[in-house]
Amino acid sequence: MARVFLHQISRRFRTATAIEQITFEVPDGQFWVLVGPSGCGKSTILRTIAGLEAITEGNLYIGDRLMNQVPARDRDVAMVFQNYALYPHMTVADNLAFGLKMRGSPSHQIRSQIETVARSLQIEYLLDRKPGQLSGGQQQRVALGRAIVRQPQVFLLDEPLSNLDAQLRDETRAELKQLHQQFGITSLYVTHDQVEAMTLADQIVVLKQGKIQQIGTPQQVYSQPANQMVATFLGNPPMNLLLATYAEGRLHLENQILSCPDRWRSLWKSGQQINLGIRPEHLSLCSADEANSLRVEVQLVEPLGREILVRSILPDAQTSAPTDAPAPIQFQVMPSVQIRPGDRVSLRLDFDHLLVFEPETGKRYC
């Protein structure tokens, strides 16, 4: 096991830049998750660490060793791909043993390590089968086992659960977290699934268009997003963004007015537009005459079992073009609450959890 240190890493192609000036350090034994929309550079970073992509600029260290010119086979990393990449003509046991055989490990050591990992993954009864005889979940466990059995310095996982159904995905995610706690291998995990990122990570790296937007613990990234992109990407349902205009100590949202907290009044000039960000769980129903409440019109009601997700808009909301839909305001209520499309209700905003962003750049003010 070892730390992974990327310093000013860039990967450029003739017509495009995949990643630019990427710098972070994964301490020995930690589990870091790279997350972001498709095409943001997550997999490129992983492939760069594995040696499958050349570094255009910057330095990569595993432990204290500079890896820029070290071939992939000599980096002592193990990678699990989205498509599992199992050898179809080999049994599960042979797939697990392949990496150890290539390194010339003794036969008795290979058998011992395979048995240990197979028990940990609960696949010992599958050792004589071939990949074509396995379900997707079983193939995924074999792919994980093949990487773990090598006992590499670094474990790289590129969306390894994306081919599984929802229930199996949840189960395998929990198993993966337990395996990391058991083996303690330094791990980097790529996903676009925010639930995986939040539940698995010691630290999350949020990426957009090849650049790092924020690095932090799951709770830091969720509750203190660095910018509007991070705020809206993490969270399901996503953070609500409400365009407001500041004027004389008040926040104007369409034809509604909220009092601006004193701590913010020195930040903006009168007439300046800002985006108010608030998560659905920080909105709650209140009486129509409550001060600083927001009046909304219900558009869609989605029962989710233990709660109801409600989509709404500001009544008489104006849009920049006739084809634009007003930004939805989402909030949650208990199943016992009777609410229907077309209803007009009032919402209380928890100002302690209200964030403010600059609409053009997405920068967070506070």
Q: Is the pLDDT of residue 266 over 60?
A: yes
pLDDT of residue 324: 53
- pLDDT class of 75 with cuts at 50, 70, 90: very high
Tell me: do 156 and 255 sit in the same domain: no
Which two three-digit tokens encode residue 245? 């205009």
- Residues 134, 189 share a domain: yes
99-108, 218-227, 230-239, 339-348: lowest mean pLDDT where? 99-108
Q: Where residue 322 falls among pLDDT bands split at 50, 70, 90? A: very low
Residue 67 is assigned to a structural domain of this protein = yes
What is the span of the domain harbouring residue 194? 4-226
Read off the pLDDT band of 321 (50, 70, 90). Answer: very low
304 and 213, same structural domain?
no
- 338 Cβ partners below 8 Å, 6+ apart? none
116 found inside a domain: yes
Structure tokens at 356: 């403010």
- Say which residues have a Cβ less than 8 Å from residue 195's Cβ, sequence separation at least 6: 236
Point out the domain boundary residue: 226, 253, 288.
Answer: 226
Same domain (yes/no): 214, 138: yes
Task: Tell me, yes or no, whether 222 and 245 share the same domain.
Answer: no
Same domain for 247 and 221, yes or no, is no
Determine the length of the chain: 366
Residue 313 domain-assigned (yes or no): yes
In a domain, 284, yes or no: yes
Q: Are residues 45 and 20 in the same domain?
A: yes
Are residue 32 and residue 157 in the same domain, yes or no?
A: yes
Based on the domain organization, do 158 and 31 belong to the same domain?
A: yes
Contacts of 177 (CB under 8 A, 6+ apart): 31, 199, 200
Residue 212 CB neighbour total at 10 angstroms:
21
Give the dihedral sign, CA 112/114/119/120: positive
- Domain assignment present for 72: yes
Q: What is the pLDDT of residue 317?
A: 65
Q: What is the CATH number of the domain that holds 295?
A: 2.40.50.140
The share of the chain scoring above pLDDT 70, in percent, equals 97
Query: In CATH, what number is assigned to the domain containing residue 23?
Result: 3.40.50.300
- Residue 245 zone, left/alpha/beta (φ > 0; ψ -120 to 50; rest): beta
What is the domain count for the chain?
A: 2
The answer to whether residue 364 sits within a structural domain is: no
Residue pair 294/315 in contact (Cβ under 8 Å)? The answer is no
pLDDT band at 265 (very low <50, low <70, confident <90, very high): confident
Q: Please tell me whether residues 213 and 249 are part of one structural domain.
A: no
Q: Are residues 30 and 132 in the same domain?
A: yes
Same domain, 246 and 206: no
Whether residue 366 is contained in a domain is answered as no
320 — pLDDT class (breaks 50, 70, 90): very low
Q: State the average pLDDT over residues 355-365.
A: 93
Domain assignment present for 332: yes
Q: Which of 170, 200, 226 is the last residue of a domain?
A: 226
| pLDDT tens digits, one per residue of 144-167 | 888 888 888 999 999 888 777 777
Vertex 143 angle, CA 98 and 137, to 5°: 145
CA distance 217 to 116: 32
Is the pLDDT assigned to residue 273 strictly greater than 70? yes
Under the banding of pLDDT at 50, 70 and 90, the label for residue 242 is very high
60-69, 98-107, 150-159, 201-210: segment of lowest average pLDDT: 98-107
Structure-block tokens of residue 200? 């698995």
Q: Which of 145-154, 160-169, 244-253, 297-306 has the lowest mean pLDDT?
A: 160-169
Dihedral sign (CA 234, 235, 238, 244): negative
Among 59-68, 176-185, 187-196, 306-315, the minimum mean pLDDT is found in 176-185
Using 50, 70 and 90 to split pLDDT, how confident is the model at 1?
low
